[in-house]
Chains A and B, each alone.
Chain A
Amino acid sequence: MSKVESPRLIAQGAIKKKKRTMPSILMNTKAKVGAVIIGVFVVIAIIGPILAPYNPSTQNTQANLSVAAPSLSHLFGTDQLGRDVFSQILVGTRTTMVLGLVTGIIATALSIIIGVSAGFLGGLWDEFLSLFSNVFLVIPALPLLIVVLGEFPGKGETPTIILLSLLGWPWGARVIRAQTLSLRSRDFIAASRETGEKTWRIIFFEVIPNEVSLIAASFVGTVLYAIGASVGLDFLGVGNTTIWSLGTILYWAQNGNALQLGAWWWFAIPGVFVALIGTGLVLLNFGLDELGNPRLRDAATQTRINGKIWRPADPTPVMRSHVDNKGTKDQRRSPKANLTEDPVRLNQVHSSNGHLGQNSMGSTTVENQVRHNSSTLSLDQEGQ
């Protein structure tokens, strides 16, 4: 080690910094909040239908109970047919959550299998798979879903799950493939070959463990997509309207002119529930992002120089000699205080995933981009 202390080392000693010693997901605020939200909804999904005071489909056609505002007997009010909205929401949450979860699992499993094998085995297999997944990405999902599901009414949620999974795996597969490609050329993979490991063992025990945070983020993103898509589909009335889900409630609300009737409890509450679930997932994804990419971590770990937050793009504070009124240097000021004013790079953990365009930018951002618009972009570009 060099004997000369670099200014950076000195600065690090003098700068006050909150250190994150254990970068576990539990310490991350965003992820914590997100996890709590999702946890609450999981609980609701599990015990909701048991807690529901009424059968959500029971109609009460008395006039005073139709589109009634929230009251003690109907906590979230009633809909046009006098059905209890509270019960509908409790039951519907389970349907929506289960659908999201199952679709997420299936689609993520597919994307892992396809993404890792395409990335690792390469060659013709890779070409074929990328063509395949690109085609899936390009096909407009919602119209296709509407058209196809419209022809399978009354079969429950299963067709929806299957179709959403089939349309949902390409995003994750793309991201996982890119990550696998960059991992493949890493020395430790060559080293495990050197040891004589079999290829399947390398894939499962060397490659995939390095992708866990990516897979987790992809899973969360897929669940988000599934819930959003299914709520949208149910809202349209595509598929089964007799099964209660959060989207179905909105469907009835739209058809029952809830807006015009000003029945805010009927449409606002279910919608807020969906939004909350989504927010929880997004926050969770943020947390996972920050796990994998330390640069994104909280503002709490920012550098404070002499009390002021120093931001990465701020101008470099220049060293000054302190001059008092008499024009002589104030030598009682510790020289160290001055030396602290040099830009210290925080969180300079260079994720070995390399440069932009790959996963160093966090899976959420990639997921976002891909979710927002399906990216057919160069599977070949992401690997370099």
Chain B
Amino acid sequence: MAASNDNDHSLISRFGEIKQMRFLARRLGFYVVALFAALTINFFIPRFLPGNIVESMMAKYPSLKPSAQRALEILFGIGHNGSLLHQYITYLGQIFTGNLGLDLLQFPIPVIDIIKNALPWTLVLVGTATVISWVLGTGLGIIAAWRRGGKLDQLLPALSFLQATPYFFLALILVWLLALRFHVLPAQQGFSNGLSIGFNWAFILSAARHSLLPALTIVLTSTAGWMLQMRNVMITTIGEDYVLAAQAKGLSPKRVVFTYAARNAILPSISGFALALGFVVSGTLLMEIVFNYPGIGLTLYNSVTSNDFPLTQGIFLIISLTVLAANILADVLYVIVDPRSRTRAVA
């Protein structure tokens, strides 16, 4: 009988492993599908839009040489290049070799180079601001839940207001107040004109100054959101019986709040954070427009308004990929942090 018991144990734990692997495999499968969906949408957009893209572009930019037409046609697979399926496969092949085509407005600079120039601006600014607001918001949320009825609770209406405000509007207000009325911070752009990009001190300082207002906008609006979410989850968690048990054990309040309650309550926030990172790239478009900040959002906007299609397509793709990557990160984090998701019982 003992041997049989061992078999049971190993079978059940193997079973847990099998379920876990299947779970991860399924997630991976989903991401592959989503990736292809993004690529396919990207492929079809120019084909759904009215008019022949290539010809209207050629007409719009008379400076383009005939070779550009060929290049465009290759990029879009329009016209002479065989069946739709063939074009799709060619397109995929191009994507996987990193060939996103050539930009129109600044022909013949490859799209990918333009993206490479713009992306760091967004990533650094928005990434840092997101991290700051997450840490701040989550921390404040924990405290607000702990000290219910205290001072922080009185801020709730104000925080709701901040959260509900469209963040570009807040940006407008901040620019008006701090830059134009009171001339404290620069209103526009990533760095002062006349400076060259590079690791020189003047540039870095200027860039830092210019990033303060945008960062402030992000922090103000996002912190409120994180804080409210964390607060709500914490309050629910504090009401659970295991927190009561921890208190009954005589643990210090700090330990109860952080090790027991917050540890559980933070789970949705962590996955939310990973996903927020994904939206770093796409979500700050409006803000970059207000500040004329040379990030990828502004680049996208400009490319759309000037019908610079290869660039639009390329950026859209990059954004999709970033979001997907962030989702994978979120899933991985969730599995690491939440033990329940690691071994799933018979469902």
Contact = CB atoms under 8 A, between A and B. Distances in A.
Direct contact of A and B (CB under 8 A): yes
Given A140-B319, A259-B175, A259-B180, A381 B334 contact: yes
A286 B274 CA distance: 25
Main secondary structure of the interface of B (DSSP, over half): helix
Contacts of B272: 368-369, 372-373, 375
B341 interface: yes
Contacts, number: 247
Interface residues of B, number: 95
A54 interface: no
A312 interface: yes
Contacts of A380: 23, 344, 347
B229 interface: yes
A285 to B, nearest CB: 9
A347 B148 CA distance: 14
B37 A139 contact: yes
Interface residues of A, number: 80
Given A139-B38, A343-B244, A375-B330, A368 B169 contact: no
Contacts of B34: 134-135, 138, 376
A373 B225 CA distance: 11
Nearest to A275: B165
Nearest to A278: B164
Contacts of B268: 356-357, 361, 365-366, 369
A262 interface: yes
Interface string A284-319: 001001000101100100100000010111111000
A345 interface: yes
A268 B165 CA distance: 12
Interface stretch (A69-77, A156-164, A230-238, A323-331): A230-238
Residue in A141, A279, A313, A362 with the greatest tally of chain B CB atoms within 10 Å:
A313
A241 interface: no
A242 interface: no
Main secondary structure of the interface of A (DSSP, over half): helix
Interface stretch (B102-110, B207-215, B280-288): B280-288
Interface of B: 23, 27, 30, 33-34, 37-38, 41, 45, 49-50, 146-150, 153, 156-157, 160-161, 163-166, 168-169, 172-173, 175-176, 180-181, 187, 222, 225, 228-229, 232-233, 235-239, 243-244, 247, 250, 252-253, 256-257, 261, 264-265, 267-269, 271-276, 278-279, 281-283, 285-286, 289-290, 300-301, 304-305, 312, 315-316, 319-320, 323-324, 326-327, 330-331, 334, 338, 340-341, 344, 347
Given A147-B312, A295-B239, A348-B239, 15 more contacts: A135-B33, A139-B38, A140-B281, A140-B319, A147-B45, A278-B166, A279-B161, A289-B232, A313-B146, A316-B250, A361-B236, A369-B272, A372-B275, A375-B272, A376-B30
